[in-house]
Amino acid sequence: MTLLETTRIETRPVDPDIQADIDKFRDVLAQYRRGEVSEDVFRVFRLTNGIYGQRQGGDNHMVRVKVPYGSMDPEQFEMLAFIVERYSRGWAHITTRQNLQFHFVQLDQIPDVLDHLAAVGMTTREACGDTVRNVQGCHLAGACPHENLDITPWAEAAYRHFVRNPLSQRLPRKFKINFSGCETDCGQAMFNDAGVIATTRTLDDGTTEAGFRVFVAGGLGTTPFPAQAIEEFTRKEELLPTLEAILRVFDQTGNRDNKLRARMKWVVEQLGIDEVRRRVLAIRKFLLASSSYPGGLPTEVRVDGDAPAGIDATANITKVGQGIPVSIGGASPYDKWFSANVVRGIASGQVSAYAWAQLGDITAEQFRAIAAISRDFEADIRLTNRQNLIIRGLDESQLPELYRRLDAADMARPGAELVRDVVACPGADTCNLAVTQSRGLAKAIGDALETEGLAEVAGLRINISGCPNSCGQHHAADIGFFGAERRANGRSAPGYQMMLGGYIGQEQAHFGTKTLRLPAKNAAEAAVRVVHRFNDERTVGESFRAWIERSGGVKSIAAGLKDLDQFPAYDDDPEFYTDFDEAGPYEAVVGDSECAT
């Protein structure tokens, strides 16, 4: 009996392309071990195959599994449970880009891990490296009452078109594509290299045509850029050619000499948006001549359809998007979960419900619980970009039993769109670039909010990155933090820059404004004070950004936190000089970048 057979998981025929990737990985790894492939070449090779080095060095590696638009099935959840128990540390992490990743996998075991993933149709191919990364999509696609189109088959078509595509193997830098079904932009298309938002237009004869608005050159990182529209309206038949044209412009004009200025946003800064538009549309015009022309309706759309979920006019339609004030009704835990985590209002009458994954972590037992729920409820499940899961296609009568099952798995806390839903990157736990333990701060903030009775304040998002690179998407949150080394009393100490007012939605991107620098141990108190003020002072339905403006702006709010930007003497409180989850004195150790996001 093979190791794969001992998992007792129903497998499927392995995709020949995925098998070819695994066979090549085994061969190149063997050559690397024999000294026939250099370290720098092997590094690029393993990154393109989704294998990322950790700060612990040696043979410790992170494996990032590509999950297009976050969609997974029961067998895949079960296989992840087996893998993280056998090869990792018992749990995996949902990323802000709807990937799953797990750490401390030994290099020589990775081919076996890839075999297991392939047996349930999963791959790590191009989850890292200078490639087209995981194609994201709104987690409510096909189940949202507000959508103009179900972008699911479009995201699938884009994923299939670009994975292993010769055009996208050695780009100047990584390239990210994102889909949203309406201008609410739950998929966060507005800070991607290519962002797609479904829309409609009225034709001269009065009929309505569904299509897309395609945005280009958005990005976060140390210098965030909002995406800009290529044209007013892109017809369905021209969507994939438009995306390929954008990629071709990036491949031709991206900076290959300086990785720090190689993303699509820097192309626009150099050439100007008008010139980029001109080049994209010129390439698209003649792309028909390509032997691999991707125009017309993709097979995935023709087979599965892209009709929107529609609206149930008799239902209490759930509002979605950043800043939505969720009403937490009822006193029982179930009533609170129902109010905060259930999405209602599509024409079929089905509902969706969020499953809480604290800090984006899922244990092996939780993977198995989710797999059982998917089967027993015949539900579709997707990962979200806020590091949770959403269970779709439910009958409302199933919700009490679903709640009971999630509660037993410790996944039933009301979290979606509430302030306790803190997002954090892996931070200095495993990342070479991080200078602080962002996960530790996220837990500290969550605990402090619970203690102060503020964890269920609605309409606020808190995101944390362990460095300025924004893997935790701190620029896009109402309250954001990024890690930074501080110097105090002659010593290094962990610190954070606090940012306020980030917002993504309505085809807009507003990035947070720097507020003040803080010792890491005071950052949770700063978050609590801001949440407290907002909760006490906001008017009915007032957004966080509107409250900031009415309160005198970011500088005024920072003035009330200034006392927190103080380090005590080391002998008075040495904890200020030790990071969360660390035992010894703080030291900012930064390794070589491996393009973590």
Domains of the chain (ranges plus CATH)? 5-118 (3.90.480.20), 148-304 (3.30.413.10), 423-577 (3.30.413.10)
Query: What pLDDT sits at residue 597?
Result: 41
Work out the pLDDT band at 595, boundaries 50, 70, 90: low
Q: Which segment of 39-53, 147-161, 327-341, 367-381 scores lowest on mean pLDDT?
A: 327-341
Intra-chain end-to-end CA distance of the chain, in Å? 38
Q: Which of 339, 342, 319 is nearest to 330 (CA)?
A: 339
Work out the pLDDT band at 207, boundaries 50, 70, 90: very high
- pTM confidence score: 0.96
pLDDT tens readout for residues 375-408 = 999 999 999 999 999 999 999 999 999 999 999 9
Asked if residue 453 has pLDDT above 90, the reply is yes
Residues 205-229 have a mean pLDDT of 96
Query: What pLDDT sits at residue 1?
Result: 38
pLDDT tens readout for residues 227-270 = 999 999 999 999 999 999 999 999 999 999 999 999 999 999 99
Residue that the structure tokens 């529209």 belong to: 229
CB 428 within 8 A of CB 54: no
* Dist CA 247 CA 264 (whole Å): 9
Asked if residue 185 has pLDDT above 90, the reply is yes
Query: What pLDDT sits at residue 55?
Result: 87
Query: What pLDDT sits at residue 596?
Result: 41
Query: What pLDDT sits at residue 300?
Result: 98
> For the CA atoms of the chain, what is the radius of gyration?
23
Query: What does the angle CA 67 – CA 71 – CA 74 come to, to the nearest 5 degrees?
Result: 105
* Dist CA 388 CA 433 (whole Å): 25
CB 392 within 8 A of CB 380: yes
**281 CA to centre of own chain:** 29
Residue that the structure tokens 């904890």 belong to: 575
pLDDT tens readout for residues 465-486 = 999 999 999 999 999 999 999 9
Asked if residue 5 has pLDDT above 60, the reply is no
